[in-house]
Every structure is written in C-alpha cells, then in structure tokens.
Amino acid sequence: MNKIKEIKNELLNERYFEIDHFSGLKIFVYPKENYSSAYAIFGTKYGSIDNCFKSGENGEYITVPEGIAHFLEHKLFESEERGAFERYSETGASANAYTSFDKTCYLFSCTGNFSASLEILLDFVTSPYFTPETVRKEQGIIGQEIKMTNDEPSWASLFTLLGAMYKNHPVSIDIAGTTQSISKITADLLYDCYNAFYNLNNMALAVAGNVNVDEVLAVADKILKTAPDKKIERNFEEEPKEVVSRYAEKHLDVARPLFAIGYKEDVGNTRRTLKQSLESEIMLDIIAGKTSVLYEKMMNSALTNTTFNAEYFEGQGYGAHIFSGESENPDEVRKCIDEEILRLQKDGIDKTEFERIKKKHYGKFIMDFDDVDAVANCLINDYFNGDGLFDGLSVLESITAEDINRRLCEAIDVENSSMSVIKAE
C-alpha cells in the first residue's frame, strides 16, 4: 500500500504530496497550476565521498576507486538493448544527470508525454547493464571530462583549497576522480556500488509542474518492485580539527591569481542543521556580502573585483566558510577578511543590517517556488538532509541577531583557515 500525505503552506499558497511507496521509495509530487512543463528527478544518496562502505549484514568494508559514483552515473544511461537517450528521443524530453559529493541524480524535463518519460527514468535507473567493453569506452569520454574541469581555474581553486583543509575526508577528491583512478574501474566494481546504494530505500523521486499524484503512482506502481531495506554503513576516517596547511597553490594560465580562503569548522562526523546553515548564509552576507563594509572596502582599494564571493560549504563530516575571487594580493585579502571577522566577533553585528538581510533571504526563498526545476531539486536535497521543503521559512523567521553572533564565534576560527591560489607561473 502507498501512504500519501499532503503538505501545505498558507503563506505561499502551495502544497505538495509526500508518498511512502510500497516499493520502499520516497516520492514527492508537487503540482503547479497553469504550468506546461514537468520536471522529474530520481536520486540516490550516494556521491563521490562514499568510497568506503559496507552493505548488508555480514559484509566487510570495501574501498572503491575515486570517481566511481560519477562513472556509474554515466554508465546507467546504457543498457543491453536501447540506451536511455535513445528512448527519450521518442518522447521529446530533455534528460540529464549529475553527481555531487553526496548524491547522484537523474532527471528530465518535458511538456508532453510525461508518463512515458517517467517510465523510462524509473526503468533505466533500476536496470543496470555494465560490460568490460562499455566501461573501457567510457574511460575515454570521462577522461576528457576530467581534463576539461582540470583546466577550469575556479574548479582547480576549490579542490586545491579542499586538499589544504582536509587530511582524511574524501571531500577533497575530485568528484570525477582522476584519469588514473578511473582506469581501475571494472564492471564488477560498478555492480558492487550499484547494489549497495541504488536500493529504493536509499533513494527518492521528486516531480514538479504539470503533474498529478495519480499519473506518477500509475507509473511507479508499474515499474518499481519492492526492495528489502539494506543497511549501508559508510566509513570515514577521523578528520583532525586543524587544516592540513595554511597555503597551497597550483599553476594555470590565468589573467590574475584566483584565491579561495576556507575557514574550517569542527563538525566531527555530523551535518549541520537547517538553522545552522541558514545562520551561516546570513552571517556571510554580513561579513562579505554586497552591502558589507568589507565588500565596499575591497572594491574601492582595488584589492579584488566583482568576482568576490562567499559561500557556506557543508555536508556529512565537513563544513567551511569559503571566500573566493581574483586578486593580485591574496595575502592582503586574507588579512582583511580575518580582521573583519575578528571585529564582528568582538563588536557583534548591526541589527538593522541583520533585519534587511533576513528580509532578502525571505524574498529569495519565495522566488524559488516559481521554478519547477528548483522545486524538485530542493525536495530531493531537503529530504536527503532530513528537512521538509517549507521548513526554511519558519526556521528563517526564528533566527535572531543573537543567533548570528553566537554562530560567528562558534563556527569560525581565524587561526584555522587555508588559502589556495591559482596563478600563472
């Protein structure tokens, strides 16, 4: 039996349905009136960081080559007969997939033939087919994808920084792996990973737009079979509190140096709560957002330019407040950011600024609900993080200036940061 729950939000005048499907899969259906398009995303809680795990009752931990989750994403599109892209070409849907640090998602958007496209999605993701020949061919294609991203300065900057911050945590490994690591991938290893993580109890389906519960369930009931809930245990080596090194650099042909400065947070093996993440975002706006004192100072003193940006980067067992941009003098940028953080930790934040920035986040939250892609993606993200789609609104409402002052002192230690610099030789 499928269990269906309706979840509403009065302010937004929106609702969606959360379904416990008999197969073990969690399904979300978010109908949008007057929309022509529909967007579906089918994801597993399995990403690049899950490279040491055991599954089932008596298994032992196995360590798999770096980049295998992403490799698996590519390979699932193929099957013994007709590949997924070929099948989608008969429905007109636009399909894609992505792998991140902690999940792998398969998606499509369409305006017509929704049920037929959903059937393809559910079918190909649950029907693996790998052979040594197809694995070999993909090594060439992914090898080119890796080389392409290695040439992207901002990508290189992030991973150089993560390497300087994390000693043991696999977040510092490139999502696609390296040309060497993917050469060790075999069809058997792909099946091991598939069987462990592509269990419907470890997955979710979210659909938004011109859709209804009945049509989604008609397809899900037809394609999905009940899956026993297999226990997955991930093994992460303990990560020291301290960064590995204060500074790291890499050489690429760039016009001017790119910097990324990360303040490592001591998080043990946990994830941050939704409230902590939102507090961090507000806090970063106050420290370095476009309305901050620091931003204006750095623009006017020619220390950096409009590429300057701050983001909160977090997941299971890692968390960092990261500032990045271009500068001829990254050391000076780092000094300015350190000083501003210390000042705010000592003096506290300005309440008027805080209220305005909170209002900004309220507005951004509302605008996200216009976009069916964003809605479906958020449903999956929030579910994997243990949150509900509308929770952000009430959590945001509850955040006070005191919360930000507390988080500012707890989450950032200016002595525990790394800086990566990408520059020409």
Partner 1 sequence: MSKIKYSETADGIRLLCVNTEKFKTNYINIDLFTPLGEDLPAQYVLTSLLSHISGNYPTVKSFNSKIESLYGASFDSSIGNYGDNMRMSFFLELPDDRFALYGEKPSEEAVDFLTDVLLNPLCSDGKFREEAAEREIRFALEDLEAKKNDKRAYALSRLKQLMCENEKYGVDSEWLENEVRSLTPERLFAAYKKLLSEAQIVVTACGSLNEAMLYEKFTAFANKIENRNPAELTSEFVTGADEIRYFSESMKMMNQSKLVIGLRSGMENESDDYFAYRIMTDVFGGGPYSRLFANVREKLGLCYYCGARLIKQKGIIFIQSGIENENYQKALDEITEQLNVMKNGEFTDEELEASKRALADAYCGVEDSPSGVCSFFASQCFAKSLVNGEEEAKALLKVTREDVIKCAQKTVIDSVYLLSGEDSNE
Which residues, 218 to 247, sit near partner 1 by CB under 8 A?
none
Among positions 137, 231, 335, 351, the unique one binding partner 1 when judged by CB under 8 A: 137
Closest CA to 266 of 237, 242, 230: 242
The residue (of 1 and 141) whose beta carbon lies closer to partner 1 is: 141
Among positions 15, 56, 131, 144, the unique one binding partner 1 when judged by CB under 8 A: 144
Pairwise CA distance, residues 193 & 202, whole Å: 13
Q: Answer whether 344's CB lies under 8 Å from 414's CB.
A: no
Does 351 bind partner 1 (CB under 8 A)? Our answer is no
Output the DSSP codes for 256-321. S-EEEEEEE---TT----HHHHHHHHHHHHHHHSTTSHHHHHHHHTTS--TT-EEEEEEETTEEEE
Does 153 bind partner 1 (CB under 8 A)? Our answer is yes
Does 132 bind partner 1 (CB under 8 A)? Our answer is no
Stretch that binds partner 1, among 22-30, 133-141, 234-242, 315-323 (CB under 8 A): 133-141
The residue (of 118 and 196) whose beta carbon lies closer to partner 1 is: 118
Stretch that binds partner 1, among 162-170, 300-308, 336-344, 380-388 (CB under 8 A): 300-308
DSSP 14: E
How far is the CA of 100 from the CAs of 66, 97, 107, 139, 178, in angstroms? 13, 10, 14, 19, 15
Strand pairing class (38-44; 3-9): unpaired
**Active-site residues: which are they?**
73
What's the closest the beta carbon of residue 350 comes to partner 1, in angstroms? Answer: 11
Q: Answer whether 160's CB lies under 8 Å from 250's CB.
A: yes
What's the closest the beta carbon of residue 272 comes to partner 1, in angstroms? Answer: 22
Closest CA to 316 of 236, 425, 198: 236
Residue type, position 134, single letter: T
What's the closest the beta carbon of residue 352 comes to partner 1, in angstroms? Answer: 10
State which of positions 306-345 bind partner 1 (CB under 8 A): 306-307, 326
**185 sits in which H/E element:** none
Pairwise CA distance, residues 77 & 96, whole Å: 10
Stretch that binds partner 1, among 81-89, 99-107, 183-191, 342-350 (CB under 8 A): 81-89
Among positions 7, 227, 293, 395, the unique one binding partner 1 when judged by CB under 8 A: 293
Among positions 361, 387, 388, 414, the unique one binding partner 1 when judged by CB under 8 A: 361
Number of residues that bind partner 1 (CB under 8 A): 75
Stretch that binds partner 1, among 45-53, 120-128, 254-262, 339-347 (CB under 8 A): 254-262
